[in-house]
Amino acid sequence: MTTYRSVKGMNDLFGAQAAGLIEVEHVVRRLALAYGAQEVRTPILEHQELFIRSVGEGTDIVGKEMYAFEDRDGSHLVLRPEATASVARMVVQHDLLRADPKLRTFYAGPMFRRERPQKGRYRQFHQIGLECFGESSPVADIECIALADAILKALGLEDVVIELGNVGGPDTRPAYLELLRGYLAKREDELPDGARQTAQRNPLRLLDSKDPHVQELLHEAPLPMDHLNDHHRSHHEAVYEGLVALGIDVQVNKRMVRGLDYYRGPIFEALTTKLGAQAAVLAGGRYDGLLEMVGGPDVAAVGFAGGTERLLLVAQAHGRELGRVSPDLGVVAAPGADVHQILRLVVALRDAGCTVIADLSGRSVKAQMKAVNRKGCRYALVLGETELESNTASLRRMADGTIVNISLDLAKVRSAVMEDE
């Protein structure tokens, strides 16, 4: 018999991992709403051209990693590799800034990149992200980074460091790139083959090369942050000072570059030491001009996205038990007890917000208790004929075996099992 496995780099999510990802999303949703953002969902399939225009043809994402196919009508579609371009497209398509010129959006969902899978790097992965439009003030960058910081703190990611860089904009980049190309031209012969190609295609990318030889060759290369104009410099300083005023620790990294072409101005990354090579748990920056690139108005924009799996992995590495699903109560039915009477109580408890498991299929009390233990129920309630007749039963707290006698009244049971939640 043929057995089937999931596609390489694409994970089935179940149990604590699925619950953990959902919990990360809950944390982000709560905080993003507090920052005045509204949740959006865009389609997973987009036109290929959208990412070529926005993320950039010379990037790894567009050049090597997109899942692209031709649809039956001949259109070229891709599984979205990221959502910033999609949200920008949505904002333009529906003219959303007319109703709210300072629209803030957030999203959670799957993205697809055909990268080499390893720990923390998958071909289908999830992102949570924030995209803010129409705010050119440094305050928007500050608030974005403040939300990112709040997410990291809420998830208990203590080792994570936020780095701040700056790539300048179309008003500074051509002159800077000329300087960089001039520097690289003098060292062309020493560059390894791959790096020489990158130098042609996307020289900025060489600045964060992991190859020690390339690093050494670029040690004294001109850096974009040293070649900003007054506007970018004062914007950058205002962002930095705002973060300091909020007590958010950021480290300036002059060599930081991003793997997407749409950034202009401040960029940032949150880095961990817990995931080996996959150091970035979250990243973003300002991308004024992207809306125009996808056919919309010239509007400022800033945002970030976090890798949901990476955030979860790092939270777990810090000992956080995200996504533990332990029912509040396991109800055990003794032989002969009235199943309907028990079901009425179980259903009423669930309606009242308790998580209750109950096996009313007539298995032995011992087998039912085992299941209550295995599922990690916080309480167990054994109900037999005597209990149902007297309307009282003993409630066992599983953590320490303490037993209390309670009346089988809905409100009493509910408050007993929920009180130490």
Contact 120, 278 (CB under 8 A): yes
Q: Which is nearer to ligand HAM, 281 or 358 (CB)?
A: 281
The least distance separating ligand HAM from the CB of residue 310, rounded to whole angstroms, comes to 4
Q: Which is nearer to ligand HAM, 296 or 330 (CB)?
A: 296
Q: Which is nearer to ligand HAM, 310 or 396 (CB)?
A: 310
Pairing of strands 329-333, 356-359: parallel
The least distance separating ligand HAM from the CB of residue 158, rounded to whole angstroms, comes to 17
Biggest alpha carbon–alpha carbon distance for the chain: 92
The least distance separating ligand HAM from the CB of residue 208, rounded to whole angstroms, comes to 12
Q: Which is nearer to ligand HAM, 56 or 129 (CB)?
A: 129
Q: Which is nearer to ligand HAM, 147 or 280 (CB)?
A: 280
The least distance separating ligand HAM from the CB of residue 267, rounded to whole angstroms, comes to 8
The least distance separating ligand HAM from the CB of residue 318, rounded to whole angstroms, comes to 16
The least distance separating ligand HAM from the CB of residue 36, rounded to whole angstroms, comes to 16
The least distance separating ligand HAM from the CB of residue 345, rounded to whole angstroms, comes to 44
Contact 195, 211 (CB under 8 A): yes
Which residues contribute to the site for ligand HAM (CB under 6 A)? 82, 84, 113, 115, 120-122, 125, 127, 129, 131, 259-260, 280-285, 287, 303-307, 309-310
The least distance separating ligand HAM from the CB of residue 38, rounded to whole angstroms, comes to 16
Q: Which is nearer to ligand HAM, 287 or 379 (CB)?
A: 287
Burial of 363 (0-12, 13-18, 19+ CB in 10 A): middle
β-strand partners of 165: 267
The least distance separating ligand HAM from the CB of residue 191, rounded to whole angstroms, comes to 25
Q: Which is nearer to ligand HAM, 284 or 323 (CB)?
A: 284
CA dist 45 and 35 (Å) reads 28
The least distance separating ligand HAM from the CB of residue 351, rounded to whole angstroms, comes to 39
Q: Which is nearer to ligand HAM, 108 or 283 (CB)?
A: 283
Q: Which is nearer to ligand HAM, 311 or 416 (CB)?
A: 311
For the chain, give the secondary structure using H, E and C: CCCCCCCCCECCCCHHHHHHHHHHHHHHHHHHHHCCCEECCCCCEEEHHHHHHHCCCCCHHHHHCCCEEECCCCCEEEECCCCHHHHHHHHHHCCHHHHCCCCEEEEEEEEECCCCCECCECCEEEEEEEEEECCCCHHHHHHHHHHHHHHHHHCCCCCCEEEEEECCCCCCHHHHHHHHHHHHHCCHHHCCHHHHHHHHHCHHHHHHCCCHHHHHHCCCCCCHHHHCCHHHHHHHHHHHHHHHHCCCCEEECCCCCCCCCCCCCEEEEEECCCCCCCCEEEEEEECCCHHHHCCCCCCCEEEEEEEHHHHHHHHHHCCCCCCCCCCCEEEEECCCCCHHHHHHHHHHHHHCCCCEEEECCCCCHHHHHHHHHHCCCCEEEEECHHHHHHCEEEEEECCCCCEEEEECCHHHHHHHHHCCC
Contact 408, 387 (CB under 8 A): yes
Q: Which is nearer to ligand HAM, 258 or 378 (CB)?
A: 258
Q: Which is nearer to ligand HAM, 149 or 309 (CB)?
A: 309
Contact 109, 126 (CB under 8 A): yes
The least distance separating ligand HAM from the CB of residue 122, rounded to whole angstroms, comes to 4
Which residue lies nearest ligand HAM, judged by its C-beta? 307
